[in-house]
C-alpha cells in the first residue's frame, strides 16, 4: 500500500515539474472578451470574417478558433527557454506568429497534446502536417459533416492525419513554438503509454539557436528518463503483480516495457 501511494505521489511530482516546462498541461481559461478581441484582430489582418473563414487544415467553413500555439497561460520562464519574449504570447504583429485558425475539435486536440504539426522529415520543413500522437482521438469528430470536393466525408481527426497546415502566404507561424509543442506531445503521450515502443523522438525543426534548443530538449528528456527509471525500480521491488502472483508475468511484462521505454528515449 505504501509503495502504491509513493508511486502516485512520485507521478504527481513529475507532472508538476513537467508542467513547469510544458504550458499545455494546465491551460488557464481565457476571458471571452479577450479571445473575441484577438479573433477579430486576427481576422482583420487576414481580411477574413465569420462568413469567409475556413480551417487551415480541413479547408472547410466550420466553427473555428483563433488558436494559440503557445498558450496565453505560458510562463515567462518557458518563453525565455525558447528565446521568445513574454509579449509573443498575444502579439498579433509578431513575425512569425503564435496564432493559427483551426477547427474547434482540432484546436482542442492540439491543446490536449493529442496532435501536433510537424514536417514529414527534417529535410522538408516548408510544409507542416498533422501528426496524431494519441491514437484514442482518431475517431473524434471534426467539423459538422463537411465534404471534400470529391464528396467523401472526412469527419474524424484520424482522417486528416498527414494533411498540410495551409498557412496563408501573408502569414507565418512560429516553427520554434510548434517544434516545442511536438516534443511535449511526444513526451506526454510516451509517459501515458499511448505510443508504440518504436516511436522515435521527433526531430527539432525550430529556428532557435542550437545551444538553447538542445538545452531545453535535454532537460525534458532527462526529466522523463528519470521518471521511467524510478518507475522501473519500483516495479522490480514489487512483490505481487496485479493478478496477485508473486513475480508473476504481469509484473515482468511491466518491467520489460519500462526498460524499453528508457532505451528509446
User: For residue range 91-112, what is the model confidence (pLDDT) as tens digits?
Assistant: 999 999 999 999 999 999 999 9
Q: What is the signed CA dihedral for 109, 265, 11, 106, rounded to 10 degrees? A: 0
pLDDT at 150: 46
User: Comparing 104-118, 154-168, 208-222, which segment has the lowest mean pLDDT?
Assistant: 208-222
pLDDT at 91: 94
> Which SS3 state, helix, strand or coil, does residue 206 take?
coil
Report the range out of 151-160, 169-178, 227-236, 254-263 with the highest average pLDDT. Answer: 169-178
Q: Whose CA is closest to 186, among 136, 224, 139?
A: 224
pLDDT at 118: 95
Query: Total domain count for the chain?
Result: 1
Does 190 score more than 60 pLDDT? yes
Question: What integer is the mean pLDDT of 156-175?
Answer: 95
The share of the chain scoring above pLDDT 70, in percent, equals: 66
Q: 142 or 216, which is more confident?
A: 142
Which residues constitute the domain of residue 243? 2-264
* Phi and psi at residue 174, to the nearest 5°: -75, 105
Q: How long a stretch of residues is the chain? A: 265
User: Comparing 103-112, 144-153, 203-212, which segment has the lowest mean pLDDT?
Assistant: 144-153
From CA 158, how far away is CA 264, in angstroms rounded?
25
Does 213 score more than 60 pLDDT? yes
Q: What is the signed CA dihedral for 91, 92, 98, 101, rounded to 10 degrees? A: 150
Does 153 score more than 90 pLDDT? no
Residue 95 C-alpha cell reads as 513575425
User: Comparing 18-32, 173-187, 220-234, which segment has the lowest mean pLDDT?
Assistant: 220-234
pLDDT at 226: 60
From CA 142, how far away is CA 114, in angstroms rounded?
14
pLDDT grade for 187, boundaries at 50, 70 and 90: confident
pLDDT at 220: 74
pLDDT at 182: 94
Q: Which pLDDT tens digit goes with each residue over 238-250?
A: 433 343 433 333 3
Q: What is the signed CA dihedral for 187, 15, 102, 115, rounded to 10 degrees? A: 30
Mean pLDDT over each residue of the chain, to the nearest integer = 77
Instruction: Please check whether residue 192 is in contact with residue 261, taking contact to mean a CB–CB distance below 8 angstroms.
Output: no
Please provide the distance, in angstroms rounded to a whole number, between the alpha carbons at the two ends of the chain. Answer: 30
pLDDT at 155: 85
Whether the model clears a pTM of 0.85, i.e. scores above it, the answer is no
User: Comparing 20-34, 124-138, 211-225, which segment has the lowest mean pLDDT?
Assistant: 20-34
Does 1 score more than 60 pLDDT? no
Amino acid at each position: 500500500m505504501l509503495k502504491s501511494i509513493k508511486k502516485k505521489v512520485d507521478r504527481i511530482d513529475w507532472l508538476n515539474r513537467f508542467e513547469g516546462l510544458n504550458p499545455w498541461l494546465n491551460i488557464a481559461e481565457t476571458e471571452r472578451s479577450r479571445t473575441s478581441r484577438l479573433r477579430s484582430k486576427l481576422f482583420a489582418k487576414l481580411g477574413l470574417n465569420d462568413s469567409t473563414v475556413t480551417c487551415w487544415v480541413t479547408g472547410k467553413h466550420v466553427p473555428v478558433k483563433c488558436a494559440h500555439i503557445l498558450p496565453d497561460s505560458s510562463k515567462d520562464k518557458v518563453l525565455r527557454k525558447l528565446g521568445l519574449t513574454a509579449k509573443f504570447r498575444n502579439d498579433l504583429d509578431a513575425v512569425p506568429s503564435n496564432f493559427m485558425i483551426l477547427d474547434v475539435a482540432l484546436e482542442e486536440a492540439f491543446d490536449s497534446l493529442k496532435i501536433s504539426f510537424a514536417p514529414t522529415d527534417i529535410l522538408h520543413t516548408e510544409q507542416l502536417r498533422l501528426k496524431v500522437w494519441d491514437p484514442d482521438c482518431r475517431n473524434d469528430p471534426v467539423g459538422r459533416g463537411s465534404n471534400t470536393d470529391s464528396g467523401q466525408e472526412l469527419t474524424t481527426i484520424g482522417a486528416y492525419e498527414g494533411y498540410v497546415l495551409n498557412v496563408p502566404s501573408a502569414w507565418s507561424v512560429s516553427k520554434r513554438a510548434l517544434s516545442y509543442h511536438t516534443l511535449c506531445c511526444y513526451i506526454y503521450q510516451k509517459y501515458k503509454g499511448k505510443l508504440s515502443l518504436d516511436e522515435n523522438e521527433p526531430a527539432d525543426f525550430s529556428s532557435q539557436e542550437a545551444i538553447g534548443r538542445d538545452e531545453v530538449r535535454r532537460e525534458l528528456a532527462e526529466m522523463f528518463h528519470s521518471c521511467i527509471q524510478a518507475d522501473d525500480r519500483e516495479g522490480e521491488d514489487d512483490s505481487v503483480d496485479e493478478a496477485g502472483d508473486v513475480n508473476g508475468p504481469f509484473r515482468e511484462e511491466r518491467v520489460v516495457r519500462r526498460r524499453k521505454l528508457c532505451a528509446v528515449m
